[in-house]
Chain A
C-alpha cells in the first residue's frame, strides 16, 4: 500500500486531526503549483500515539506542520506518517528512537 522504502515530505496546514481507532489520521492541506490538495496521513492507534507523546489536542486545524511520510504506491493523496515537526521546527510527540524496546 505504502512505499516504505522511500521517505517524502508533506508541508501544509492541518484541516483535521482524527483521534480514532483503529488508526489516527491527519487531514493535511498541501499547496502545490497554486492548487491546494487534501492529503490523508495515516498514523497508529490512539494507544500507540498516546504512548508516543501525542494527545487529541497535539495538532489543531490551522496548524502548520511538516510531516515525513511514506507515500501511497498508487500515487493517490494518501501517506503513512513517520514523524512531524511544527512550523518552528519543534517535534511533535516523542522522538521515534524513544520507543524502540
Chain B
C-alpha cells in the first residue's frame, strides 16, 4: 500500500513538473520574433459607430468590401440582375447583425474583418487568433501545416486558415469559406465556395494595423481583387467587452424591423 502511494506521488510530481515546465529555448525564441499586437483593435466603421445611439457618424474611411467585384461576364450579369431585383424589392439594405432574422453570412469571413467589430490578436508560434467581440474566433495555424485534404475539408463561414510570418507580416491563406455574400453592407455580391483568400496583416505604426486582402474566385472573377482593410488601436477601453444578442428586441416581420416589448 505504501509502495503504491509512493508510486502515485512520483507520478503526480512528474505530471506537475511536466505541466510547470518552462517553454523550450526554441519556443521562447519563436515568441520573441513575433510582433507585439497586444491590446484592442477596431475597424474604422466601429470607431465611427461608437455613439450612444449606435448611429454611425460615417462609414469611417470607407468600406472596401462593398466595392464592385471583378466578375466574369456571366456573374456580372447575375450580379446586376440581383442588384436591380434587390433595389426593386427594397431589400438592398443592411441586414440585422444578430438575433432573429439575421442571416448567417453576417458572421462570416471576410465580412467580420470589416464589420462593426472590436478584436484582439493573440499571436503564438503555433497559431494566431483573431478574437472578435461578436464571438467569432479565427484560427490561423502557423505551424507549417497544410490545409486539410479534400475529404477532411468542408465549407464553413470562416473557412480554413493557415499562415506564416514574413518578418513582421502575417500572411494568411484561407479556403473553404461557405458560398455567399462578401459583405453584409453589400449583400448581393457573392462568392463561390471555390474562393481563395490571401491576407497580409501588418502593423503600420503604434496605432494602426492593416490587412491587405486578395480574393480570387476561379468560378466568378476575371482577376484577383485586392482591398486594404485598416484597423485602429482602441484607446478608450482597457478590457474586452463581449457582444451578444440575448436581449434582441428587433424581430423582423414581413421584411421590416419592429420593436418587441421588454421582458417583464
Most chain B CB neighbours (cut-off 10 Å) among A4, A18, A51, A81: A51
Task: Indicate whether B21 reaches chain A with its CB closer than 8 angstroms.
Answer: no
Is A40 within 8 A of B259, CB to CB?
yes
CA distance A96 to B53 in the complex (A): 9
Is A54 within 8 A of B52, CB to CB?
yes
Q: Mark B52-85 against chain A: 1 for CB-CB distance below 8 A, else 0.
A: 1111011010000000000000000000000000
Interface residues of A in 30-85 (CB under 8 A from B): 40, 42-54, 72, 76, 78, 80-83
Task: Indicate whether A23 reaches chain B with its CB closer than 8 angstroms.
Answer: yes
Task: Indicate whether B249 reaches chain A with its CB closer than 8 angstroms.
Answer: yes
Task: Indicate whether B179 reaches chain A with its CB closer than 8 angstroms.
Answer: no
CA distance A81 to B51 in the complex (A): 10
Determine the chain A residues whose CB is within 8 A of the CB of B241 once the complex forms: 46-47, 50
Interface residues of B in 230-261 (CB under 8 A from A): 232, 236-237, 241, 243-250, 256-259, 261
Q: Which residue of B lies closest to A77 (CB)?
A: B259
Q: Which residue of B lies closest to A68 (CB)?
A: B53
CA distance A74 to B241 in the complex (A): 34
Is A45 within 8 A of B243, CB to CB?
yes
Q: Mark B146-169 against chain A: 1 for CB-CB distance below 8 A, else 0.
A: 000000000000000000000000
Task: Indicate whether A90 reaches chain B with its CB closer than 8 angstroms.
Answer: no
Task: Indicate whether B127 reaches chain A with its CB closer than 8 angstroms.
Answer: no
Is A43 within 8 A of B262, CB to CB?
no
Is B57 within 8 A of A22, CB to CB?
no
Is A21 within 8 A of B243, CB to CB?
yes
Nearest CB in chain A: distance from B18 CB, A? 40
Number of interface residues of B (CB under 8 A): 36
Number of interface residues of A (CB under 8 A): 38
Most chain B CB neighbours (cut-off 10 Å) among A4, A16, A23, A94: A23
Is B98 within 8 A of A22, CB to CB?
yes
Q: Which residue of A lies closest to B57 (CB)?
A: A100
CA distance A70 to B257 in the complex (A): 15
Is B247 within 8 A of A48, CB to CB?
no
Is A48 within 8 A of B50, CB to CB?
yes
Determine the chain A residues whose CB is within 8 A of the CB of B193 once the complex forms: none
Is B259 within 8 A of A72, CB to CB?
yes
Determine the chain B residues whose CB is within 8 A of the CB of A20 once the complex forms: 246-247
Nearest CB in chain A: distance from B73 CB, A? 38
Chain B interface (Cβ < 8 Å from any Cβ of A): 44, 47-55, 57-58, 60, 97-99, 118, 133, 232, 236-237, 241, 243-250, 256-259, 261-262
Q: Which 3 A-B pairs have the closest CB atoms?
A: A44-B54, A20-B247, A52-B52
A-B contact pairs, 25 of them (CB 8 A): A16-B262, A18-B247, A20-B247, A21-B243, A21-B244, A21-B247, A22-B244, A22-B248, A23-B249, A25-B249, A44-B52, A44-B54, A45-B54, A46-B241, A48-B51, A48-B52, A51-B50, A78-B259, A81-B52, A82-B55, A96-B53, A100-B58, A101-B48, A101-B60, A101-B232
Other than the given A21-B243, A42-B54, 8 more pairs (CB < 8 A) read A42-B249, A43-B52, A43-B53, A54-B52, A80-B55, A96-B52, A99-B50, A100-B48
